[in-house]
Amino acid sequence: MKQRIISGLIVAAFLSSFALQKASASQAIFNDLSNQGIEYYKKGKYKDAERLFLEAIEEAGKSTGKDDNLYVGLTNLAGLYKMLARFSNAEPVYKRAMLIQERDFGPDHIKVAIATDNYADLLMRREKYKEAEEYYRKSLSIRQKKLPAGDSEIGKSMVNLAEALEELKSYEESAALYRKGIPILQDKLGPNDFYVAKALNQFGTLFKKQGNLEQAEPLYLRSMAIYEAKSPNQPNIASVTKNLAEVYRKQGKFADAEEMYKKSILIREKALDPRHISIAYVLEEYSAMLKEMGRIEEAALIDERVNAIKVLYGETVPAPEKKK
């Protein structure tokens, strides 16, 4: 059986170093544990998947010398933790996987860049933006040394670093990297690739944070058009439409903002549990806008739903106002 790596969602990866006609007994055990774990993952049986990934890691640890098994096992486990939002569990596992690649292949190998990205992505989830910046710079440096200029992976690294810098309010350097990285992605992957759409959405957010709404809007619209051409219910559209709603709301275009808020909420409801916390946050913004418009009764109904969702996540909600 071939081995696969999980990174957030299932990503099939066939590793040539395992293409042996006759695997050793330990290799066969590792393969079976890993693939059974992935099957449980796909079925939503996450505790069973975790148990099997841990057993696979233990089996991989029996080998000595350079061996990709341990890296694969660790990356699968960390990907499971990341998907479950168990970020504090995922972080040390991703870091260990990265250090193993550095040990086995040297600090400037492309495989190290991939592992470094996984670790930096997790740091971004934990809002450790300064650390994420450090590792994204390292990943970009490796790719610039090892890959031809204009390679799509260099473009992706530029966009990743730009996002970290955006969070750190280093807006000038962030914008410069978006302007370099996005054309590379458009040239190598095509103007309608998902990575391009993602980068355009992030670049738009940079302008939105700076209050440059006129520059943010066309980037969001281009991003949304790419996603919608692929699939009208693409979950990423929910992020873009929420961003557009915020732009229109700040511009006083309440009808356009309402349309975007409703679209974002609907897509999230289809893709997620209707009680998912991310839905509550969009509803909360929508309610605030309705209050600005004087539609108090509608906003109150939405607030009730928001509070019901937040209680499920252990968040405090405001006490109901006492009637006078």
Query: For 26-60, how does the pLDDT look when each residue is reduced to its tens digit (9 = 90+)?
Result: 888 999 999 999 999 999 899 999 999 999 999 99
Q: Where in the chain is the domain with CATH 1.25.40.10?
A: 1-105, 226-315
Question: CB 278: neighbour CB atoms within 10 A?
Answer: 17
Confidence grade of residue 22 (pLDDT, cut at 50, 70, 90): very low
Give the pLDDT of residue 233. 81
Confidence grade of residue 274 (pLDDT, cut at 50, 70, 90): confident
121-146 mean pLDDT: 97
**223 token code pair:** 């991003």
d(C-alpha 29, C-alpha 61), whole Å: 12
d(C-alpha 156, C-alpha 196), whole Å: 9
Our measurement of the distance from residue 230's CA atom to the centroid of its chain's CA atoms, rounded to an integer in Å, reads 19
- Highest mean pLDDT, choosing among 9-13, 167-171, 319-323: 167-171
Fold of the 1-105 domain: 1.25.40
Give the pLDDT of residue 64. 63
Number of H helices, E strands in the chain: 14, 2
Confidence grade of residue 317 (pLDDT, cut at 50, 70, 90): low
Residues 6+ apart with CB under 8 A from 69: 3, 27, 30, 56, 59, 60, 63
Query: For 79-116, how does the pLDDT look when each residue is reduced to its tens digit (9 = 90+)?
Result: 999 988 899 999 999 999 999 999 999 999 999 999 99
Give the pLDDT of residue 231. 86
The CATH homologous superfamily of the domain defined by 226-315: Tetratricopeptide repeat domain (1.25.40.10)
Give the pLDDT of residue 4. 46
Give the pLDDT of residue 65. 63
Our measurement of the distance from residue 196's CA atom to the centroid of its chain's CA atoms, rounded to an integer in Å, reads 15
282-306 mean pLDDT: 97
Share of the chain above pLDDT 70, in %: 89
Q: What helix, strand, coil percent values describe the chain, rounded to 5?
A: 75, 0, 25
**pLDDT higher than threshold 60 for residue 229:** yes
Give the pLDDT of residue 318. 60
Name which residue leads in pLDDT, 289 or 278. 289
Give the pLDDT of residue 272. 83
142-164 mean pLDDT: 97
Query: For 199-222, how does the pLDDT look when each residue is reduced to its tens digit (9 = 90+)?
Result: 999 999 999 999 999 999 999 999
117-131 mean pLDDT: 97
**pLDDT higher than threshold 70 for residue 322:** no
Query: For 243-272, how does the pLDDT look when each residue is reduced to its tens digit (9 = 90+)?
Result: 999 999 999 999 999 999 999 999 999 988
Give the pLDDT of residue 38. 94
d(C-alpha 103, C-alpha 100), whole Å: 5
